[in-house]
Structure 1
């Protein structure tokens, strides 16, 4: 099998949130392919600590297939950085390199990369980068883009990327905005248009909040895969059509962090746990108190203790023993035990939707 055989359900690259423990977590619940966060070529080449941190356990047996995402506007620099990563993972298995042409953040604008290379004046530069990558690596090269201005130009750009050697293309069907990344609904008609006109696989990114949205998106666009970003942070079980208990899924993530010490920073771990709990409990009276307590944690064990004892108590549930991983009974009775929390949880979930 090749990496293009794994495009069905994809965890998008997310800044400081696409860590190895999280990638492993979402794989357990229906994710077929995961991306690393966007990596900076110049730092991969000049900062040994940065390189070693992002290579840690990359492409291990439990983290396949994985796509390493690069950004940049210098073909030689991107290729040299890609070779650094490729060399560390060459014998591991199915993975790929991706050029990010969709990042809307202000840092991308200031350094002129990501979505700020979508303008037609930069198309020759982008084509040269993709071509250089596709001819330099032994693994596939893909691209992730947003809509061009005008939107009708997106197909032309995508066809140029295909001709330059992109093995597949992911389209986040919104135009670029640094301050409002998800302004308005994604234009899935443009994804459908790419699918009808390209010969390479097309991945649809946008307008997904629930499993039903995944199915509807696929049915309408006929895309080869559906990519989801921030909604997976709230519900890492989305692709399994499940809504997990927030404490139990947090503890499962912490256990993966213990299996891969140092693969995620403490701040990253705290952010993941906050998202998990916010998804179901963000409107509870105690949630702000939980956020303060979480920010005061100094280790993974501190977070574990907070979840098993205080959060359970705040939810009106029995504490979980230190060696407990949860049970079917605790999951069944967790948030709906007394019938009071269902509407609150629904509103909490809505508050996180893109």
Structure 2
């Protein structure tokens, strides 16, 4: 297994738009996450927007933020490699995004919209260019191809192109959120049974027992969790936290690492924590107002 993943089953915090900030990455590590990802970063903006680059480099890969994987997206091998070189000294691996289902990804033709077979040569070129040019391991996170059976073919191509591991979110691009349909974990098992590189399972986890069932079914080398970890950052420790306590713990980390999370990001995290346990007892706005008081200033 890749040294970044470790020698046991890995518990991984997924890349999540505007939610994989440094304080949250630090928080989930406290509760048994063994590997964390940044949010998906746009290769062209890393190269052309200095403020964007500096914001996402701030605190990245500092001693308490290891191991960490930076996720990049794009459809130009040269640009993705150049962007990777901007961040490689701050991380332990770089992941190529083949799973983003957003409209922006469709319009700019990246993420899950590169899964069609006509784009496979381009995908192989990008993965190989990254593997051959960067100083850290390269991985890929993908969704199901259509038909689903084609996913194994693409995963094999990624393996041959130099990917150190692959992560499969076993839903198609049309299924954007978990409530729109269960992940097809048999497809992850198929990858695990046929690839020689590690395979990470992503999907169908709401509570700790789901982690155990998922790993038992797929045989995967680790499990990645997204939305459910936002609701309960202690999921990998099989703990249900008090919503106020976990909110204040997160806010303390925001003060420890200033200017690494926007106020909107902080408020969204708190809403997730509160909605998970206390949505009936206390309104999220009341708690956020309390957290913005002088005793818990982000500055």
Displacement after TM superposition at 1:60 (Å): 0.7
Conservation of the 8 A alpha-carbon contact between 2:189 and 2:219:
yes
Displacement after TM superposition at 1:271 (Å): 0.7
RMSD of the TM alignment (CA)?
1.8
Displacement after TM superposition at 1:183 (Å): 2.0
Q: TM-score, normalised by structure 1?
A: 0.80
What does 1:1-354 correspond to in 2, within 5 Å? 2-5=3-6, 8-87=10-89, 89=90, 95-177=92-174, 180=177, 182-284=179-281, 286-287=282-283, 290-291=284-285, 294=288, 300-301=292-293, 304=296
Displacement after TM superposition at 1:282 (Å): 1.6
Conservation of the 8 A alpha-carbon contact between 1:104 and 1:181:
no
Q: Helix, strand or coil for the counterpart of 1:143?
A: strand
How many Å separate the matches in 1 of 2:121 and 2:234?
40
Q: Helix, strand or coil for the counterpart of 2:142?
A: strand
How many Å separate the matches in 2 of 1:205 and 1:118?
17
Displacement after TM superposition at 1:182 (Å): 4.9
- When residues 234 and 251 of structure 1 are mapped into structure 2, their CA distance, relative to the original with a 3 A threshold, is same
Q: TM-score, normalised by structure 2?
A: 0.94
How many Å separate the matches in 2 of 1:218 and 1:137?
31
Conservation of the 8 A alpha-carbon contact between 1:266 and 1:300:
no
Q: Helix, strand or coil for the counterpart of 1:123?
A: helix
Conservation of the 8 A alpha-carbon contact between 2:74 and 2:111:
yes
How many Å separate the matches in 2 of 1:302 and 1:104?
40
How many Å separate the matches in 2 of 1:133 and 1:300?
42
Consecutive aligned runs of 4 or more in structure 1 exceeding 6 Å deviation: none
Displacement after TM superposition at 1:5 (Å): 1.2
Give unpaired runs (5+ residues) of structure 1: 306-354
Q: Helix, strand or coil for the counterpart of 2:59?
A: coil
Displacement after TM superposition at 1:283 (Å): 2.8
Aligned residue pairs total 295
- When residues 84 and 226 of structure 1 are mapped into structure 2, their CA distance, relative to the original with a 3 A threshold, is same
Name which structure has the greater RCO, CA cutoff 8 Å, separation 6+.
Answer: 2
Conservation of the 8 A alpha-carbon contact between 1:16 and 1:37:
yes
Displacement after TM superposition at 1:181 (Å): 6.0
How many Å separate the matches in 2 of 1:245 and 1:293?
13
How many Å separate the matches in 2 of 1:272 and 1:96?
26
Q: Helix, strand or coil for the counterpart of 1:5?
A: coil
Q: Helix, strand or coil for the counterpart of 2:71?
A: strand
Q: Helix, strand or coil for the counterpart of 1:3?
A: coil
Larger Rg: 1
Q: Helix, strand or coil for the counterpart of 2:75?
A: coil
